[in-house]
């Protein structure tokens, strides 16, 4: 009797040690929890083979879509780097984070918020950030301004282009008026560019984790296809200029509200593009897309080689969309579908609907609750998204009614609500214009129906839905 008591007391003590010791909780108890590989591309619109692009060459991401789920209606909350990333990494809408520009660190508005990687770190995961996860540029000035978040990561690293990687044919497409508008078909290898180094180092991290068995949250922030449009020459060679097609304006002239497109120096410079310059812009962006695809492919291949795929969730996304000349715009920051929508591919080892796509509406703020649910962790604060984990088993479930995207235009804001059929947008609460598009008949959002009497009731419904956002 005594011996049995002693044994059970001993067992109890061992169990208690297992639960309380941070090393053990990381190594043993959590070893059942899946790892997370989060790959974020910068300014990547849905220009991937798996999303029906007729031009982009993206075999690796197409393969990921076949293994996991392709989200066809995934929307960012703010089509600019820092606000979008802050929103998705805190699980909060931009009106809550109060981050709507590229210069403000979210710790100034939310000093105590627990970020997505941070919740994993607090639960014994090794968290790593390579490249651009939280917003950060690549100039020396950007690097001096510490925009990253030490509380979120065990390890943060940035990478620089080598001198060879700066060489090669290229030019500024605006005679220098827009300093960012440069392309270069670079000499050297992938590793002469930051993204190639990021892939190499990410693979090193995976090799370490395969050895030490510590659960990991590895965040890989690839810088392309964001400007400057620099990628190794071989990716430019995939896209001969004569194989590319420029956007053609519809026959009916577009009557966009003035606020719908940002103006200023950008629009002036884009207006001066020759067709040759437009084609060069497009080729340089696509080179960045294929370069991104190749780096993501290397990392996912390493995951397979190290047999980590069976216990690792893979998420690939672009932080927001992009216009490639549509409506004369060559950038982001609009509330049109091209800028608000972005790629989202998710693979989870235990998902039932592998290789399927879902047309259900998802928002990037849904990522935080999803990853927390899939790993059995607990969200430390009230999140504003909804876990899409159930869609990974059944992509046809009845789902979200609406997805919201917003942007600031000078002194006022624009808000857009997307349902499965409609997009409705208000600028300055309607004072600077409003838009209604029917995606059933007008996927390019060319016909603004806002003033058509027969849609009055729809507009009222969507107005109400827009108000429900927060
Ligand atoms: Ca971006």
How confident is the model at residue 362, as a pLDDT? 98
Q: Which CATH superfamily is domain 33-395 in?
A: Alkaline Phosphatase, subunit A (3.40.720.10)
How confident is the model at residue 51, as a pLDDT? 98
How confident is the model at residue 446, as a pLDDT? 98
Average pLDDT, integer, range 424-446: 98
- Tell me the CA–centroid distance for residue 327 and ligand 1, in Å: 20
Q: Which run of H or of E encompasses 78?
A: none
- Tell me the CA–centroid distance for residue 305 and ligand 1, in Å: 31
How confident is the model at residue 29, as a pLDDT? 42
Contacts of 385 (CB under 8 A, 6+ apart): 91, 363, 364, 365, 366, 367, 368, 369, 370
How confident is the model at residue 21, as a pLDDT? 39
- Tell me the CA–centroid distance for residue 252 and ligand 1, in Å: 31
For residue 360, which of 385, 341, 388, 384 has the smallest C-alpha distance? 388
* pLDDT above 50 (res 105): yes
Share of the chain above pLDDT 90, in %: 87
Instruction: Write out the two tokens for 107.
Output: 């710790």
How confident is the model at residue 31, as a pLDDT? 53
The three-state secondary structure class of 397 is coil
Share of the chain above pLDDT 70, in %: 91
* pLDDT above 80 (res 10): no
How confident is the model at residue 135, as a pLDDT? 86
For residue 446, the tally of other CB atoms under 10 A from its CB is 16
- Tell me the CA–centroid distance for residue 111 and ligand 1, in Å: 23
- Tell me the CA–centroid distance for residue 107 and ligand 1, in Å: 20
Top-confidence residue, 387 or 141: 387
Instruction: Write out the two tokens for 353.
Output: 């609907």
Using 50, 70 and 90 to split pLDDT, how confident is the model at 1?
Answer: very low
Distance CA 64, CA 363 (A): 20
Residue of 135, 223, 320, 323 with catalytic role: 135
Distances (CA, A) of 394 to 348, 354, 402: 13, 10, 19
- Tell me the CA–centroid distance for residue 93 and ligand 1, in Å: 17
pLDDT tens digits along 166-215? 999 999 999 999 999 999 999 999 999 999 999 999 999 999 999 999 99
Distances (CA, A) of 173 to 179, 206, 281, 358, 428: 9, 39, 8, 38, 33
Residue of 81, 126, 181, 323 with catalytic role: 81
- Tell me the CA–centroid distance for residue 406 and ligand 1, in Å: 15
Average pLDDT, integer, range 312-338: 98
Report residue 205: phi and psi, to 5°: -60, -45
Using 50, 70 and 90 to split pLDDT, how confident is the model at 139?
Answer: low
How confident is the model at residue 146, as a pLDDT? 55
Residue 238 · residue 286 · CB < 8 Å: yes
Q: Which residue has the tokens 């490639």?
A: 324
Using 50, 70 and 90 to split pLDDT, how confident is the model at 258?
Answer: very high
Using 50, 70 and 90 to split pLDDT, how confident is the model at 141?
Answer: low
Instruction: Write out the two tokens for 295.
Output: 């780096």
How confident is the model at residue 68, as a pLDDT? 98
Query: Is position 135 annotated as part of the catalytic site?
Result: yes
Pick the range with the lowest mean pLDDT from 16-20, 263-267, 415-419.
Answer: 16-20
How confident is the model at residue 143, as a pLDDT? 54
Average pLDDT, integer, range 364-389: 97
Using 50, 70 and 90 to split pLDDT, how confident is the model at 19?
Answer: very low
- Tell me the CA–centroid distance for residue 450 and ligand 1, in Å: 30
Contacts of 235 (CB under 8 A, 6+ apart): 287, 288, 290, 291, 294
pLDDT tens digits along 457-466? 999 999 999 9
Specify burial of residue 200 (Cβ count, 10 A radius: 0-12, 13-18, 19+).
middle
Q: What is the pTM of this model?
A: 0.92
* Triad 288, 294, 300: Cα angle to 5°: 135
Using 50, 70 and 90 to split pLDDT, how confident is the model at 32?
Answer: confident
- Tell me the CA–centroid distance for residue 43 and ligand 1, in Å: 4
Q: Domain ranges in the chain? A: 33-395
Distance CA 465, CA 431 (A): 18
* pLDDT above 70 (res 13): no
How confident is the model at residue 140, as a pLDDT? 52
* Mean pLDDT, all residues of the chain: 92
* pLDDT above 80 (res 155): yes
Pick the range with the lowest mean pLDDT from 102-106, 307-311, 351-355.
Answer: 102-106
- Tell me the CA–centroid distance for residue 160 and ligand 1, in Å: 18
* pLDDT above 50 (res 131): yes
- Tell me the CA–centroid distance for residue 124 and ligand 1, in Å: 30
- Tell me the CA–centroid distance for residue 74 and ligand 1, in Å: 15
Distance CA 407, CA 100 (A): 7
Q: Which residue has the tokens 């020396």?
A: 140
How confident is the model at residue 11, as a pLDDT? 46
Using 50, 70 and 90 to split pLDDT, how confident is the model at 233?
Answer: very high
Specify burial of residue 244 (Cβ count, 10 A radius: 0-12, 13-18, 19+).
middle
């Amino acid at each position: 009797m005594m011996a049995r008591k002693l044994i059970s007391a001993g067992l109890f003590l061992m169990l208690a040690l297992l639960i309380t010791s941070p090393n053990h909780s990381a190594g043993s108890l959590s070893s059942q929890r899946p790892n997370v590989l989060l790959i974020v591309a910068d300014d990547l619109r849905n220009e991937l083979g798996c999303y029906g692009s007729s031009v982009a060459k993206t075999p690796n991401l197409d393969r990921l879509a076949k293994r996991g789920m392709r989200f066809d209606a995934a929307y960012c909350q703010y089509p600019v780097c820092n606000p979008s990333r802050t929103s998705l990494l805190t699980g909060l809408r931009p009106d809550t984070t109060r981050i709507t520009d590229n210069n403000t660190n979210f710790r100034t508005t939310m000093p105590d918020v627990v970020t997505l990687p941070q919740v994993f770190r607090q639960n014994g995961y090794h968290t790593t950030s390579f490249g651009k996860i939280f917003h950060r540029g690549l100039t020396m000035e950007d690097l001096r301004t510490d925009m990253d978040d030490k509380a979120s990561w065990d390890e943060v690293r940035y990478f620089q282009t080598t001198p060879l990687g700066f060489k090669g044919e290229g030019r500024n497409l605006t005679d220098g008026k827009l300093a960012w508008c440069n392309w270069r078909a670079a000499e050297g290898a992938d590793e002469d560019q930051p993204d190639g180094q990021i892939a190499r180092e990410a693979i090193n991290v995976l090799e370490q984790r395969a050895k030490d068995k510590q659960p990991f949250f590895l965040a890989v922030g690839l810088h392309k296809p964001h400007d400057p449009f620099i990628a190794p020459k071989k990716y430019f060679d995939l896209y001969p200029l004569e194989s590319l097609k420029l956007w053609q304006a519809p026959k009916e002239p577009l009557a966009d509200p003035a606020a719908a497109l940002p103006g200023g120096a950008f629009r002036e410079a884009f207006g001066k593009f020759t067709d040759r310059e437009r084609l060069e812009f497009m080729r340089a962006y696509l080179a960045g897309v294929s370069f991104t695809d190749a780096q993501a492919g290397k990392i996912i291949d390493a995951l397979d080689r190290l047999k980590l795929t069976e216990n690792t969730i893979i998420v690939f996304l672009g932080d927001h969309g992009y216009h490639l000349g549509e409506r004369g715009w060559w950038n982001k920051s609009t509330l049109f579908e091209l800028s608000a929508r972005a790629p989202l591919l998710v693979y989870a080892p235990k998902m039932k609907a592998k290789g399927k796509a879902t047309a259900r509406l998802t928002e990037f703020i849904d990522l935080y609750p999803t990853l927390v649910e899939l790993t059995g962790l607990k969200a430390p604060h009230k999140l504003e998204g909804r876990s899409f984990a159930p869609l990974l088993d059944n992509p046809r479930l009845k789902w979200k009614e609406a997805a919201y995207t917003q942007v600031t235009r000078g002194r006022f804001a624009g808000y857009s609500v997307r349902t499965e059929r409609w997009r409705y947008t208000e600028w300055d609460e309607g004072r600077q214009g409003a838009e209604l598009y029917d995606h059933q008949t007008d996927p390019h959002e060319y016909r603004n129906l806002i003033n058509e009497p027969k849609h009055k009731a729809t507009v009222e419904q969507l107005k109400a839905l827009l108000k429900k956002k927060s």
